[in-house]
Amino acid sequence: MQKRDAPIILYKYRNWVEEHHKNVLFKNELYFTSPHEFNDPFDCRIAQNLSLLDTIEKARDFAVKCSKEYILENENQIEEFAEKLLNNPFEIQKKYDDLNFKGKSDYYGVLSLSKTWKSILMWSHYAKCHEGFCIGLWLDKIHNLNKFSHGPVEYPVHDNFPRLSPLNDFDPKDFFIESHTKSKEWMY
C-alpha cells in the first residue's frame, strides 16, 4: 500500500471477555496473536516449497542448510537426505512444514487490523457477536513502533500463492509474503 492510500486510523475489534482484549484500553497494550490461534488454519503457512529443489545440487545445498540449522543430526546425513528429497519431496515437505510452522506459532505474534470499524461481519466474528468494542489506532503511531513487519494483506487471484525458495536464508521479503498473504475467501 502506498503511503498516500493508507488510512489514517486502523481498527481492532475486541470483546469484553478476554482479559488481553481489555488491556488495549486499561493498560495501553496490544496483543499479538499466535498464528495457531487464528480462524484460518492456513494463515501464516505459506511454505518454502521443497519441490523447487529439482536438482541434486539444490537438494544438497538445502541438506547443508538443514544441517546448519540442526534439522539434520549430523553432516553424514546430507547425501542420504538430498537423495530422499529428490525422490519424495512431499514426505519431507510435511515434516519440514510441521517443524517450521510450530516454531513460528511458538515465537511469532500477529496484530491484525481493519480499515473499517463498521463491518457487520467483523463485529460478529471478532467483537463477540456485536457485544464487544472496536478501537481505532493511529497508523503513524503503529509505523513508529518499528518493531515488526507491517503492511496490507494480499489476496492472490485464484489462490495462486507465491512459491518461496527453501534455499533463501532468512529473507524479510519472504517472511512478509508468508505473513501477509491469505486466501481471497478471507477478504472481508
Mean pLDDT, range 127-145, rounded to an integer? 88
C-alpha cell at position 96: 519440514
Of the candidates 183, 184, 155, 174, the residue with the CA atom closest to the CA atom of residue 52: 174
Average pLDDT for the chain: 86
Of the candidates 122, 101, 123, 127, the residue with the CA atom closest to the CA atom of residue 34: 101
Residues 81, 86, 87, 92, CA torsion sign: positive
pLDDT at 54: 92
Q: Can you point out the beta strands (E) in 4-132?
A: 9-14
Rounded to the nearest 10 degrees, the angle between the axes of helix 78-87 and helix 89-107 is: 110
Residues 117, 12: contact at Cβ < 8 Å? no
pLDDT at 115: 93
Mean pLDDT, range 116-134, rounded to an integer? 95
C-alpha cell at position 159: 489462490
Torsion of CA 50, 55, 60, 66, to 10 degrees: -10
Which amino acid is present at 144? N
- Report how far residue 62's alpha carbon sits from residue 57's, in angstroms, rounded to the nearest whole number: 9
Residues 6+ apart with CB under 8 A from 161: 46, 181
C-alpha cell at position 3: 503511503
Q: Is the pLDDT confidence value at 1 over 70?
A: no
Q: What residues does 48 pair with on adjacent strands?
A: 164
Q: Which residue has the higher pLDDT, 43 or 171?
A: 43
Span 58-99, pLDDT tens digits: 999 988 888 777 667 667 788 888 999 899 888 889 888 888
